[in-house]
Structure 1
């Protein structure tokens, strides 16, 4: 079962995330102007299941230019591990610990068949969030709701406390959901299943145009099934 969603808009503070620094390799990547769409190593995953996510490109949002960049473990592990050890994140993702814990979680996706792609969220050239874009219809989640072909799911955490509590999560959720619907023409719905206890996360999804569909009992949590439908995207 995918991890629980971290709160997208809490005001919880942590010294570890207030002082976010790019890893040397990631900082060099942006400083040298390497395209952020640079793909992961060949064979890392089969892009066909998610319509070549690595090539989706940037989108302009109210918060700035944003892009999903597929994770490279050798480049991004330290940064993502730091985020996973933020108490506000660890409470719902339950992946606090050493880099080995984070690496195992990432490689479980990168070495799989491509049904889930872990990404950095890069805003204004700065990595500031972690995303998992996944095929909900091919995921264990599909056993717990009436799935449809090509349903696409989102997991999200905001890494920096300065990005929490001011609507950035809501803005990016709407942008990413719209990006999925634009880039995946066979997908009619974007889904999420935040923990019901994570009220700031549920509120962020609602404000981003998702509707509450149902309470779902999952193996590791009671979740709010949130849905953003293609047919309603211009109305919500």
Structure 2
């Protein structure tokens, strides 16, 4: 699915048809949002390169039925001017619209939008599913940072990043792009994806429900002070807490990206193997449920 990364170092409940206002502010200490990242599993370098797996009819039916049911999300807390604020969007028909930030079928990842916050030493952290109209400019700017562009391969006009995001948002929910919000301020881009349903699964002994992580820390002021490892640990723990069927969290940073590999090790991942992928030689990093309280 996603890209190769650099890591220079490293919901509120809404009614069924509520919408999220943009309300995006930059961190006061990050005037120039820059980057940290965990590399993507975008094998072949393109988001449309995903496994052509047929889902069970029962799951398809369940997802279709669920798409008509209630949705709950979680927002972030923090400084009011930097928070995503809930608003109800009423169409011309007078009917409220569904939240555009929630993928059509999020069941494949147990509803990332509902995972809630994680308390970290750096503050309260939320994963908020991407909403294009609010988040595209931020993410595109981060992707055009030279340090990020070398690995994510999404530099250029906003349309480049937009196509990458839309491929996930319009998909079946096997990859969910998110904004990382720390104490109310958007400061990172994440992709939470089903590694066992990704092309990556062709290159390692995947287990059912293996869950992958990609991370890009956007702000220069947020790099070089250990946030990468700290947030990777928090999100990996969120995955294991919210996805009981998942026994491992997977990542595959470029083997040459020493700061990225170091951040994953700091976050409690173990180095499992070197893996030759179409676009890179990767370090397969694994955080095991059975070891999460030891590492």
TM-score (norm 2): 0.71
Displacement after TM superposition at 1:44 (Å): 3.0
Gaps (5+ residues) in structure 1? Answer: 11-16, 22-26
The equivalent of 1:99 in structure 2 is: 158
CA contact (8 A) 2:9 2:260 kept: yes
Count of residues in correspondence between the two structures: 222
CA contact (8 A) 2:192 2:213 kept: yes
Displacement after TM superposition at 1:30 (Å): 4.4
- Residues of 2 paired with 1:19 and 1:32: CA distance? 20
- Residues of 1 paired with 2:104 and 2:273: CA distance? 31
The equivalent of 1:124 in structure 2 is: 183
Structure with higher Rg: it is 2
CA contact (8 A) 1:150 1:186 kept: yes
The equivalent of 1:34 in structure 2 is: 86
The equivalent of 2:43 in structure 1 is: none
Task: Check 1:162–1:146 CA distance in 2 against 1; reply closer, same or farther (3 A cut).
Answer: same
RMSD: 2.1
Displacement after TM superposition at 1:89 (Å): 0.6
The equivalent of 2:249 in structure 1 is: 190
Gaps (5+ residues) in structure 2? Answer: 11-29, 35-78, 88-97
Displacement after TM superposition at 1:185 (Å): 0.2
Task: Check 1:30–1:151 CA distance in 2 against 1; reply closer, same or farther (3 A cut).
Answer: same
Task: Check 1:63–1:8 CA distance in 2 against 1; reply closer, same or farther (3 A cut).
Answer: farther
- Residues of 2 paired with 1:76 and 1:134: CA distance? 19
Deviations 1:25-66 (A, max 9, x none): xx998457439xxx8428733111000110111111011000
Deviations 1:122-142 (A, max 9, x none): 001000000000000000000
Displacement after TM superposition at 1:6 (Å): 2.6
The equivalent of 1:9 in structure 2 is: 9
SS, match of residue 5 in structure 1: coil
Say whether residues 1:19 and 2:78 are aligned partners. no
TM-score (norm 1): 0.89
Q: Pick the structure with more helix per residue.
A: 1
